[in-house]
């Protein structure tokens, strides 16, 4: 379209009026510039201006120096709509605060919602919702149903339905149940109503890792009692932690877990988690309970006392709104187990219960390796037994004798008949499940904390003194001084020689 | 029997009211002299108007400034004192705004001041330029316009009366002789089509086009001249150009061309038009105006 302006200039110039046409006088031009002319007269002036260049120049020059109209005084502010008056600075600040509160609420509650939306949570919810009358004191069956879907805490719930299991497991369960009952009673004694009993039962059910480990092969062995914090990935702890640590007992070539030394354990505490180091330095509890129990999340007293809070608590439990504080992802029982005895066991549990450890190599943290670390309680860690639970015996081997202490610093020979036959070299105790070995590949096993002993025969060609016992739920691995490794997957009934 | 005043009496009452409103008595004017002035104004602008229409026309005038100007023209000292007090400095400021230069501004303002006072005599009486003020616009605006007109006239005269020395300085003697080759005449059909399209435009649209394409005014200047915002002028120019092109093409087609020929004619003639338009613009525009453009 560049050609048209040139054409236009030419034709417009051709239509310019000559000098002969009468120009508007100064009055009319002034009136036109001041817009005081009538419309008809104004059109006439405009038409003349369109064709008269001198008059356009006059108008342009005159308007260029025209005094700009003074600013008119506004007598009243412009009317503002009523709804616009709401948008005051105070309203804006309040709206900002409200928005931030909503965002904070959503950020804090979203992980919990995701947790309860999982299939496990749905099972728990349905179970609890279907039996609202049983909420204060849930029946064992209900507990079992809940245990199927819940996280590690619920998986260690009392296993009454498992009573129909094979006899061997029933035995193991009985011992576990007794241990569980011991812990549960301690908690229940502090709780008055059924709500407290429920919370205590959950805590207690999570307590004995031995019972939990014996319950099934998929039961988590490593568990701790770190309360969930908001900055922790709760989804991982609640839904994945137990599965990640599930030992695969069928895998027989797993390397044993490294046996931590005392010094190394302490350094691990210091480097892995400062909080755990603080807990490890706690003095003994005057009540005789395990100090490690302090790691278990404390129950808010206000939620235990008033009935309203109790109802709200049970309702929240039914709906799956587990409080991050009340739902430890790592079980307290792993740390409060009296059978684990010495701090070496404690340290081993703690090391594996750290979130970083779990996330870094959860698949390697199997039950056997865990038990390997727990074997420290046999001898080396015995002097620190005062930190353990007073209800569980503590074992050690001294001068070829198997010694047992009930926590009163009084040691007794736990297997006096062996003095003439064998010389003990190693003991492994997990609760009331005690394995002890000595010279000539001798191995004895007690399921009742040393009350009764069974002699276990490894194999015809077993030789050497037993130097290591790694006991899991049903799997036991024994090493002798002749570099023989015997393994049993059925609790010691049959043994296979793995390597020599 | 009749209760109301007769038309002549009503006119007299209204005239008296207008005189009182003008405050002409302060400047030494009489009611009769003021009535003559109003009648003079009505004869010039609304000669065929009825007394009532005249009265309405008078009411729209700047009566107070009209009385002041005519009192000054009549030589009343009180009026001159009031005029000088109100407009003396403004006169210089306006001149400075027009000429963009102090000495020229003072020269221009003094010249107008002499005309306002009346240096020439006619039939034994001084002829003041203030006698031509009719009160349709403000006195200050009228002074501004008169100054602008004086400025334009002065430089148009200057352009015509160029001395031989100045022509030599400008190199007129070395200018190329007009080419013997005639410039290809513009296609008559194209000119007719464009004239037809321009004739269909309103006066304001043509004013906008002329101010933009002929005078090279800025959008702000054109907007001020027309009384709209500059952005409106920009949009209007674009719209006008599109409409003109469409109408010119339609006019060419209606005059026997096909579409391709019409577009080719529109583009081909540009080469001749560029020379022609430049020459045309240089002929009709004072050099001083072009200098003023740069200051805006």
User: Quick check: B151 contacting A, CB < 8 Å?
Assistant: yes
- Does any domain span residue A17? no
- Best of A22, A64, A68 to disrupt the B interface by mutation (most B CBs within 10 Å)? A64
Q: Which domain holds residue A51?
A: 23-60
With an 8 Å Cβ cutoff, are B289 and A3 in contact?
A: no
Mutate to test the interface with A, among B41, B66, B101, B148 (most CBs of A within 10 A): B148
CB contact under 8 Å between A7 and B270, yes or no, is: yes
B279 found inside a domain: yes
A397 and A369, same domain (yes or no) = no
Say whether both B195 and B255 belong to one domain: yes
The alpha carbon of residue B190 is apart from the nearest alpha carbon of chain A, in Å, by 9
Instruction: Check whether residue A170 and residue A28 sit in a common domain.
Output: no
Closest by Cβ to B148, choosing from A7, A27, A61: A61
Residues B34 and B141 in one domain: yes
Interface contact B296-A58, CB threshold 8 A: no
Cβ pair A26:B142 closer than 8 A: yes
CB-based contact B281 A13, cutoff 8 Å = yes
- Burial class of B238 by CB neighbour count within 10 A (0 to 12, 13 to 18, 19+): exposed
Kindly identify which residue of chain A lies nearest to residue B289, measuring between CA atoms: A57
The answer, for B264 touching chain A at a CB cutoff of 8 Å, is: no
Q: Do A60 and B145 touch (CB under 8 A)?
A: no
Contacts B60 to A, Cβ<8 Å: 36
Q: Are residues A359 and A415 in the same domain?
A: no
> Does one domain contain both B223 and B265?
yes
Q: Considering the domain boundaries, does residue A413 fall inside one? A: yes
Q: What is the CATH number of the domain that holds A418?
A: 2.120.10.30
Looking at the DSSP assignment, which residues form a beta bridge with residue A400? none
Q: Is position A249 within any domain?
A: yes
- With residue B125 as reference, give the H or E element that holds it: strand B125-127
Closest chain B residue to the Cα of A44, Cα to Cα? B203
Tell me B200's DSSP state: T
Please report residues of A whose CB lies closer than 8 A to that of B214: 9, 12-13, 16, 53
Q: How far is A78 from chain B (nearest CA, A)?
A: 23
In a domain, A107, yes or no: no
State whether A329 and A438 are in the same domain: no
Asked if B136 and A27 come within 8 Å (Cβ–Cβ), the reply is yes
Say if residues A250 and A473 touch (Cβ distance below 8 Å). Answer: no
Domain end marker among A344, A373, A402: A373
Last residue of a domain, one of A60, A88, A109: A60
Domain membership flag for residue A119: no
Domain assignment present for B179: no
SS (H, E, C) chain A: CCHHHHHHHHHHHHCCCCCCCCCCCHHHHHHHHCCCCCHHHHHHHHHHHHHCHHHHHHHHHHHHCCCCCCCCCCCCCCCCCCHHHHCCHHHHHHHHHHHHHHHHHHHHHHHHHHHHHCHHHHHHHHHHHHCHHHCCCCCHHHHHHHHHHCCHHHHCCCCHHHHHCCHHHHHHHHHHHHHHHHHHHHHHHHCCCHHHHHHHHHHHHCCCHHHHHHHCCCCCCCCCCCCCCCCCCHHHHHHHHHHHCCCCCCCCCCCCCCCCCHHHHHHHHHHHCHHHHHHHCCCCCCCCCCHHHHHCCCCCCHHHHCHHHHHHHHHHHHHCCCCCCCCCCCCCHHHHCHHHCCHHHHHHHHHHHCHHHHHHCHHHCCHHHHHHHHHHHHCCCHHHHHHCCCCCCEEEEECCEEEEECCCCCEEECCHHHHCCCCEEEEEEECCEEEEEEHHHCEEEECCCCCCCEEECCCCCCCCCEEEEEECCCCEEEEECCCCEEEECCCCCCCEEEEC
Q: How far is A70 from chain B (nearest CA, A)?
A: 15
Nearest CB partner across the interface for B207, out of A3, A34, A50: A50
Structure-token pair, residue A344: 């070496």
How far does B214 lie from chain A, in Å, by closest CA? 6
Contact of B244 with chain A, judged by CB distance below 8 Å, is answered with yes
Report which DSSP code applies to B211: I
Shared domain check, B194 and B148: no
A351 and A242 in a common domain: yes
From chain B, the residues in CB contact with A50 under 8 A are 203-204, 206-207, 209-210
Residue B209, chain A, CB below 8 Å: the answer is yes
- Residues of chain B with Cβ-Cβ distance to A1 below 8 Å are 241-242, 245
Q: Are residues B197 and B143 in the same domain?
A: no
Looking at beta carbons, which residues of chain A come within 8 Å of B296?
64
**A86 within domain boundaries:** no
Residues ≥6 apart with Cβ < 8 Å to B109: B91, B92, B94, B95, B147
Q: Are residues B151 and B201 in the same domain?
A: no
Q: Same domain, yes or no, for A471 and A362?
A: no
- In B, minimum Cα distance to A33 occurs at B225
- Let me know if residue B166 belongs to a domain: no
The per-residue pLDDT string of chain B (296 residues; one tens digit each, 9 = 90 and over) reads: 444 556 566 666 688 888 888 888 888 888 888 889 998 899 988 888 888 888 888 888 999 999 999 999 888 888 999 999 999 888 898 999 888 888 888 888 888 888 888 877 777 777 888 989 999 999 999 999 999 998 988 887 776 666 666 666 666 555 555 555 444 555 678 878 888 888 888 888 888 988 888 888 899 989 988 888 989 999 998 898 888 888 888 888 888 888 888 888 777 654 444 434 444 444 444 444 444 444 43
B243 and chain A in contact, CB less than 8 A = no
CA distance B202 to B224: 18
Cβ-defined contact of B280 to A9 (cutoff 8 Å): yes
Handedness of CA A89, A94, A95, A100 (dihedral sign): positive
Tell me if chain A has a CB within 8 Å of the CB of B37.
no
The C-alpha atoms of residue B184 and residue B191 are separated, in whole angstroms, by 13
CA distance B92 to B107: 9
Asked if residue A341 and residue A204 are part of one domain, the reply reads: yes
Instruction: Tell whether B108 and B247 lie within a shared domain.
Output: no
Domain membership of residue B189 (yes or no) is yes
**B contacts of A43 (beta carbons < 8 Å):** 203
Q: What is the model's pLDDT at position A3?
A: 61
Q: Is B293 on the interface with A (CB under 8 A)?
A: no
Give the nearest partner residue to A46 out of B134, B207, B292, using CB atoms. Answer: B207
Of A314, A338, A373, the last residue of a domain is: A373
In a shared domain, residues A228 and A339: yes
- From chain B, the residues in CB contact with A8 under 8 A are 194, 198, 209, 213, 241, 244
Same domain assignment for residues A285 and A191: yes
Per-residue pLDDT at A216:
42
- Whether residue B27 is found in the same domain as residue B145: yes
Min distance B127 CA to chain A CA atoms (Å): 17
Structural domain includes residue B171: no
- B60, B142, B225 member nearest A63 (Cβ): B225
Contact A54 B269 (CB under 8 A): no
The pLDDT value recorded for residue A336 is: 37
Specify whether A288 is located in the same domain as A357. yes
Query: What domain count does chain A have?
Result: 3
Instruction: Give the closest of B134, B248, B277 to A13, CB-based.
Output: B277
A353 in Cβ contact with A224 (< 8 Å): yes
* Residue A74 belongs to some domain of the structure: no
Q: Is residue B198 located within the same domain as residue B137?
A: no
Name the region of A483 (left: φ>0; alpha: ψ -120 to 50; beta: rest).
left
Q: Looking at residue A181, what is its pLDDT?
A: 54
Same domain, B149 and B193: no
CB burial of residue A382 (10 Å; 0-12, 13-18, 19+): buried
Chain A's closest residue to B220, CA to CA, is: A64
> Rounded to whole angstroms, what are the CA distances from A273 to A220, A263, A268, A351, A355?
22, 15, 8, 9, 10
A-interface mutation test, from B207, B217, B274, most A Cβ less than 10 A away? B207
For the stretch B276-296, what's the b/e string if a residue is b when 16 or more beta carbons lie within 10 angstroms of its beta carbon? Answer: bbeebbeeebbebbeebeeee
Mutate to test the interface with A, among B109, B137, B262, B267 (most CBs of A within 10 A): B137
Of B132, B206, B215, the CB nearest to A53: B215
Q: How high is the ipTM of this complex?
A: 0.78
CA of B82 vs chain A CAs: smallest distance (Å): 20
pLDDT reported for residue B292 = 43
Show residues of chain A in contact with B148, CB under 8 Å. Answer: 57-59, 61-62
Same-domain status, B148 and B192? no
Q: For residue A424, is it within any domain?
A: yes
Phi, psi at A354, each rounded to 5°: -70, 140
In terms of domains, do B74 and B204 share one?
no
Q: Which residues of A touch B207 (CB under 8 A)?
A: 46-47, 49-50, 56
Residues A345 and A494 placed together within one structural domain of the fold: no
Can you give the residue range of the structural domain that contains B258? 185-288
Whether residue A176 sits in one domain with residue A289: yes
Domain count, chain B: 2
- Ranges in chain A, pLDDT < 70: 1-4, 14-21, 67-77, 115-391, 407-409, 418-421, 499-500
Q: Does B56 touch chain A (CB under 8 A)?
A: no
B172 belongs to a structural domain: no
CB contact under 8 A, B151 and A2: no
Q: Are β-strands B125-127 and A485-488 bridged in parallel, bridged antiparallel, or unpaired?
A: unpaired
Nearest to A243 by CA among A155, A114, A145, A373: A155
Instruction: State the pLDDT at residue B14.
Output: 81
CATH number for the domain harbouring residue B205: 1.10.10.10
């Amino acid at each position: 379209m560049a050609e048209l302006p040139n054409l236009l200039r030419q034709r417009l110039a051709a239509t310019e009026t000559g000098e002969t046409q009468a120009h508007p006088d100064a009055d009319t031009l002034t009136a036109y510039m001041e817009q005081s002319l009538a419309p008809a007269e104004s059109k006439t002036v405009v038409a003349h201006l369109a064709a008269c260049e001198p008059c356009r120049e006059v108008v342009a020059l005159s308007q260029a120096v025209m005094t700009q109209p003074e600013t008119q005084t506004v007598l009243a502010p412009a009317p503002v709509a009523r709804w616009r008056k709401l948008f005051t600075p105070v309203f804006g600040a309040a709206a900002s605060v409200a928005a931030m509160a909503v965002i904070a609420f959503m950020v804090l509650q979203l992980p919990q919602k995701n947790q309860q939306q999982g299939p496990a949570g749905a099972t728990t919810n349905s179970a609890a919702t279907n039996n609202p009358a049983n909420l204060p004191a849930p029946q064992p069956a209900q507990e079992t149903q809940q245990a199927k879907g819940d996280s590690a805490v619920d998986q260690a719930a009392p296993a009454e339905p498992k009573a129909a299991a094979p006899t061997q497991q029933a035995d193991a369960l009985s011992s576990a149940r007794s241990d569980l009952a011991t812990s549960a009673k301690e908690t229940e004694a502090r709780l008055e109503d059924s709500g407290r009993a429920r919370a205590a039962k959950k805590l207690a059910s999570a307590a004995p890792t031995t019972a939990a480990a014996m319950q099934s092969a998929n039961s988590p062995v490593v568990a701790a009692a770190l309360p969930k914090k908001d900055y922790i990935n709760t989804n991982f702890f609640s839904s994945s932690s137990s599965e990640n640590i599930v030992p695969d007992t069928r895998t027989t070539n797993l390397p044993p877990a490294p046996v931590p030394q005392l010094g190394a354990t302490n350094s691990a505490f210091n480097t892995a988690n400062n909080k755990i180091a603080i807990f490890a330095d706690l003095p003994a509890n005057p009540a005789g309970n395990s100090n490690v129990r302090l790691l278990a999340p404390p129950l808010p007293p206000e939620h235990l006392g008033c009935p309203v809070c109790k109802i709200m608590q049970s309702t929240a439990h039914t709906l799956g709104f587990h409080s991050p504080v009340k739902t430890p992802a790592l079980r307290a029982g792993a740390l409060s187990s009296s059978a684990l005895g010495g701090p070496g066991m404690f340290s081993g549990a703690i090391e594996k219960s750290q979130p970083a450890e779990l996330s870094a190599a959860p698949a390697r943290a199997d039950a056997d390796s865990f038990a390997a670390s727990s074997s420290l309680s046999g001898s080396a860690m015995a002097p620190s037994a005062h930190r353990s639970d007073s209800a569980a015996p503590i074992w050690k081997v001294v001068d070829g004798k198997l010694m047992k202490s009930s926590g009163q610093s009084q040691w007794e020979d736990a297997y006096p008949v062996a003095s003439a036959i064998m010389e003990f070299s190693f003991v492994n105790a997990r609760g009331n499940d005690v394995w002890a070995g000595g010279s000539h590949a001798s191995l004895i096993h007690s399921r009742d904390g040393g009350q009764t002993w069974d002699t276990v025969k490894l194999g015809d060609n077993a030789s050497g003194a037993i130097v290591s016992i790694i006991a899991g739920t049903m799997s036991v691995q024994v090493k002798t001084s002749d570099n023989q490794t015997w393994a049993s997957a059925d609790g010691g009934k049959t043994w296979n020689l793995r390597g020599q | 029997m009749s209760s109301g005043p007769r038309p002549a009496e009503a006119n007299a009452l209204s005239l008296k009211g207008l005189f009182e409103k003008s405050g002409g008595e302060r400047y030494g004017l009489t009611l009769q002299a003021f009535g003559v002035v109003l009648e003079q104004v009505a004869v010039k602008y609304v000669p065929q108007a009825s007394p009532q229409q005249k009265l309405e026309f008078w009411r729209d005038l700047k009566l107070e400034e009209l009385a002041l100007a005519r009192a000054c023209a009549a030589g009343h000292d009180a009026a001159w004192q009031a005029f000088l007090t109100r407009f003396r400095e403004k006169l210089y400021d306006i001149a400075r705004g027009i000429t963009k230069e102090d000495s020229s501004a003072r020269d221009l303002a003094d010249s107008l001041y002499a005309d306002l006072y009346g240096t020439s005599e006619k039939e034994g009486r001084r002829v003041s330029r203030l006698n031509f003020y009719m009160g349709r616009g403000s006195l200050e605006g009228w002074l501004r316009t008169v100054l602008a007109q004086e400025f334009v006239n002065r430089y148009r005269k200057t352009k015509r009366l160029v001395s031989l020395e100045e022509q030599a300085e400008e190199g007129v003697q070395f200018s190329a002789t007009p080419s013997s080759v005639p410039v290809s005449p513009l296609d008559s059909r194209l000119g007719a089509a464009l004239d037809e399209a321009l004739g269909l435009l309103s006066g304001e649209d043509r004013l906008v086009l002329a101010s933009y394409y002929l005078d090279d005014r800025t959008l702000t200047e054109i907007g001020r001249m027309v009384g709209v915002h500059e952005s409106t002028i920009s949009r209007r120019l674009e719209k006008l150009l599109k409409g003109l092109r469409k109408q010119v093409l339609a006019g060419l087609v209606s005059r026997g061309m096909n579409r391709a020929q019409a577009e080719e004619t529109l583009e081909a003639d540009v080469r001749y038009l560029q020379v022609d338009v430049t020459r045309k613009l240089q002929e009709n525009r004072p050099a001083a105006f072009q200098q003023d453009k740069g200051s805006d």
